[in-house]
A = this chain, B = another copy of it.
């Protein structure tokens, strides 16, 4: 091969290499990747926002380091009805541990759980809930808890659909996470749920690694037991990552103010407020559960995922109210697959 031919081929190869190196991002950044989103105001708002913050030289350009997007989990990335998944976990754990605790038969709120007495459980209020959480989430090492949570999530099934909880995630949101990451965003979960309950499975399901999960937490203590270093989970609240606790958790764990926030309930109000009142282009979206047929319909009066203030004030603040019914073509991955197969 003559040297000029070689030079030419090398140049072609370099161009092709560049094209191939960048191809995945370009392909995914296409609107087509939001395949389960109907053309409509929510999808348009998302893609317009992403296009403007990624347009180099444009007035709204945001450098990749600052492209931080935060997502609530329960009701935003996966279903939270008929109850929070973590509460189902706690109730199952009470049942599993009950033979080590004969006293629970006569002691509320444990008695209510063992007798499936929902009314008595509700009557035990926040104090009762906290007792359940501490009895099931504390008193073991972080490694033991991780194993307990992992084993449970692999075998537990949603009471209505019979599917694993990890299949009760929203396909349009999975596509959105990928779309944002393909556009240089770093995606975080910021959930009222327990940080160590979520971390074992967020990477596999959402592509979000443990270090990008922010959640409620209890304190831990480092100690060396029989020569083995251990982090013990203490029955003491560290952070309640909900409402005004969400900006606190974001600041502690992320250290940037996000430019985009996605939630579904009034527990996410302050997270969206903190995100969207920063300088420059900002984005807030609330998933509105208005699809009783394909998921659940609830908002102002719901026990889990109450959306009241967000519906009233969100639109005035420029937040997108995302209708599950009209903005999403399909909801759960298995339903989206079925719809595709039926075509």
CA distance A245 to B228 in the complex (A): 17
**A244 interface hit (Cβ, 8 Å):** yes
Which of B65, B199, B231 is the one whose CB lies under 8 Å from A209?
Answer: B65
**A203 interface hit (Cβ, 8 Å):** yes
Contact yes or no, A256 B210, CB < 8 A: yes
| Complex interface: chain B residues within 8 A of A228 (CB) | 277
- The closest CB in chain B to the CB of A203 belongs to B65
Segment of A8-16, A129-137, A295-303 in the binding face: A8-16
Which of B14, B20, B244, B254 is the one whose CB lies under 8 Å from A14?
Answer: B20
Contact yes or no, B247 A222, CB < 8 A: yes
Q: Which of A53-91 contact B (CB under 8 A)?
A: 65, 68
Contact yes or no, A229 B14, CB < 8 A: no
Contact yes or no, B251 A220, CB < 8 A: yes
| Complex interface: chain B residues within 8 A of A274 (CB) | 222, 229, 231
Which of B142, B238, B255 is the one whose CB lies under 8 Å from A213?
Answer: B255
| Complex interface: chain B residues within 8 A of A224 (CB) | 273
**A52 interface hit (Cβ, 8 Å):** no
Contact yes or no, B270 A211, CB < 8 A: no
Closest 8 CB pairs of A and B: A210-B255, A17-B17, A17-B20, A13-B16, A222-B244, A222-B247, A21-B21, A199-B255
The complex is assembled from copies of this chain, and their number is 2
Contact yes or no, B229 A248, CB < 8 A: no
Which of B13, B188, B196, B231 is the one whose CB lies under 8 Å from A12?
Answer: B13
| Complex interface: chain B residues within 8 A of A229 (CB) | 247, 270, 273-274, 277
Contact yes or no, B16 A211, CB < 8 A: no
CA distance A207 to B228 in the complex (A): 34
| Complex interface: chain B residues within 8 A of A195 (CB) | 252, 255
Which of B212, B231, B255 is the one whose CB lies under 8 Å from A248?
Answer: B231
17 cross-chain CB contacts under 8 A: A12-B13, A13-B20, A14-B16, A17-B19, A20-B21, A65-B209, A142-B251, A188-B211, A211-B255, A220-B248, A220-B252, A222-B245, A222-B246, A222-B270, A231-B248, A238-B252, A253-B253
Q: Which of A209-265 contact B (CB under 8 A)?
A: 209-213, 217, 219-224, 228-229, 231, 238, 244-248, 251-256
- The closest CB in chain B to the CB of A142 belongs to B251
| Complex interface: chain B residues within 8 A of A223 (CB) | 244
| Complex interface: chain B residues within 8 A of A217 (CB) | 252
Task: State the Cβ distance, A243 to closest chain B Cβ, in Å.
Answer: 9
- The closest CB in chain B to the CB of A211 belongs to B254
Contact yes or no, A231 B251, CB < 8 A: yes
| Complex interface: chain B residues within 8 A of A306 (CB) | none
Contact yes or no, A253 B12, CB < 8 A: no
